[in-house]
Chains A and B, each alone.
With several copies, the nearest count.
Chain A
Amino acid sequence: MTLHRAEKVVIITEKMISRGVCEILEACGATGYTIVAAGGKGSRNIRMTSERASVIDEFANVKIEVIVNDKAMGEAIMDQVAEKYFADYPGITYIEDVQILRPAKFEHD
């Protein structure tokens, strides 16, 4: 098998907006995504972990990763998420180069 270039977009933000973020991903054409529970610290200076009792669970962090074939799609995702959420909600987003097998898996039919 040969490797193909692709992009991985990562969004780290509050759990409570994860549904909205995933809707953006799908609207932009992503074929899937992976979510991991996270804690962290940022400009809002709140540490959030999901293990210890926290009265408001929705304010924990999640890390959402999405692999896309197409860098333009990746940038569109980043832009839309930042535009829609990052004025009011904590969060960061970045993109990385990766190499994948089976590029067809990451393309919409």
Chain B
Amino acid sequence: MEFVLDFLSRLITQFQSPTLGFLIGGMLVAALGSNLKIPNAIYQFIVFMLLMKIGISGGIEIRQADLSAMLLPALSSIVIGIAIVLLGSFVFSLIPSVKREDGIATAGLFGAVSASTLAAAIVLLEEESILFEAWVPALYPFMDIPALILAIVLANIHLRKTSAGKESKVDVAGIVKESLRSSALSALILGLALGLFTRPDRVLETFYEPLFRGFLSILLLVMGMEAYARLNELRRVAHWYAVYAFFAPIMHGLMAFGLGYIAHLATGFSPGGVILLAVIAASNSDISGPPTLRAAIPSANPSAYIGASTSVGTPVSIAVCIPLFIALAQVVFEL
């Protein structure tokens, strides 16, 4: 009961957090038909800056980190990514009105990871002064890539069964390569490498860090505008996508919270790290996942998986999951 009250009061505070405010502001701006626009060049640069900052910080920390402490969380990430896709594909397979490959693609996107949700969680943890290992955000690809690959493999197995015609082999190495080459993962990995192999502390402190919070606010504005804009597409597909997109992030996050808790007990994984891991799991890819899926499962309907993810999944993971997992951690770890 107390937990519920704590969570509710936290949720109300959260609605006053500018982080969420910018997201909702973006939705309203779009809903009211405003001509406000953030230029595409700015948007792309902001995503780059956020991922570079996450990468550089992570790289610097990994340099000094006890690598064994990273093992369990990294393994958990892979397991979660795979579990989400299997689970989601299974759930969608039970719904007759959902085309098989559309369901698999959607599950793949929810297994993958969102940079904007991750960045929002980082800022909110800092606001609550909850510490975490700076390498945790670097778990991103450990969940993202296996999830996307598995979804593509499953879809192709399905398509081969139905249309014996095309003899397409799934090129796993090719998919990994394409994922790593995507602009989002490239920026993250470039940042990691710079953090690991050079001494970028000063440029991090004077440039990438101070701009992080502000750029995130604008990114959330864009995500909000996009969420509203894609609602139309979501409306044209089965409403089951919206239902899944609402509940799945919460489930996935709780699953990851559990695994993170085990890592906490086993290797002292920090409470902040557990929260971040849960948020990574709850998040769904909004930038690099969609084109990867579109290219690899061309017959899946992008309106279904992008609508579900951008219009419902991302707002839910930012507005509901982040405060939920913070509240949960405060109770569980007695912060």
Contacts and interface: CB of A to CB of B under 8 A. Distances in A.
**Contact present between A and B (CB < 8 A):** yes
A88 B40 contact: no
B226 interface: yes
Given A56-B287, A59-B302, A51 B39 contact: yes
B214 interface: no
Interface string A34-48: 000000000000100
A32 to B, nearest CB: 17
B317 interface: no
Contact residues of B: prevailing secondary structure: helix
A52 B38 CA distance: 6
B42 A53 contact: yes
| Closest 9 A/B residue pairs (Cβ) | A53-B43, A88-B298, A58-B291, A53-B38, A52-B37, A55-B226, A53-B222, A53-B40, A56-B290
B223 interface: yes
B299 interface: yes
Given A54-B43, A59-B290, A87-B299, 12 more contacts: A16-B291, A46-B233, A50-B40, A53-B40, A53-B43, A53-B226, A55-B222, A55-B286, A56-B286, A58-B290, A58-B294, A89-B298
A46 B226 CA distance: 13
A54 B40 CA distance: 6
A53 B29 CA distance: 14
Interface of B: 37-40, 42-44, 222-223, 225-226, 233, 286-287, 290-291, 294-295, 298-299, 302, 306, 310
Interface residues of A, number: 16
A30 B298 CA distance: 26
Contacts of B42: 53
25 contacts: A16-B291, A16-B295, A17-B295, A50-B40, A51-B40, A52-B37, A52-B38, A53-B39, A53-B40, A53-B43, A53-B225, A53-B226, A54-B40, A54-B43, A55-B222, A55-B223, A56-B286, A56-B287, A56-B291, A57-B44, A58-B291, A59-B290, A59-B291, A87-B299, A88-B298
A63 B43 CA distance: 23
Interface of A: 16-17, 46, 50-59, 87-89
A50 B40 CA distance: 7
A57 B184 CA distance: 12
A16 B287 contact: no
A56 B39 CA distance: 13
B40 A57 contact: yes
Contacts of A89: 298
Contacts of A50: 40
Residue from A16, A50, A56 with most neighbouring chain B CB atoms (10 Å): A56
A58 B183 CA distance: 11
Residue from B37, B226, B290, B302 with most neighbouring chain A CB atoms (10 Å): B302
Contact of A16 (B37, B39, B225, B294): B294
Contacts of B233: 46
A54 B225 CA distance: 9
A104 to B, nearest CB: 21
Contacts of B299: 87-88
B200 to A, nearest CB: 21
Residue from A53, A54, A57, A87 with most neighbouring chain B CB atoms (10 Å): A53
A54 B227 CA distance: 11
Contacts of A57: 40, 44
Contacts of A56: 286-287, 290-291, 306
A15 to B, nearest CB: 9
A91 to B, nearest CB: 12
A52 B40 CA distance: 5
Given A57-B44, A88-B298, A89-B298, A52 B39 contact: yes
A53 B287 CA distance: 12
B225 to A, nearest CB: 8
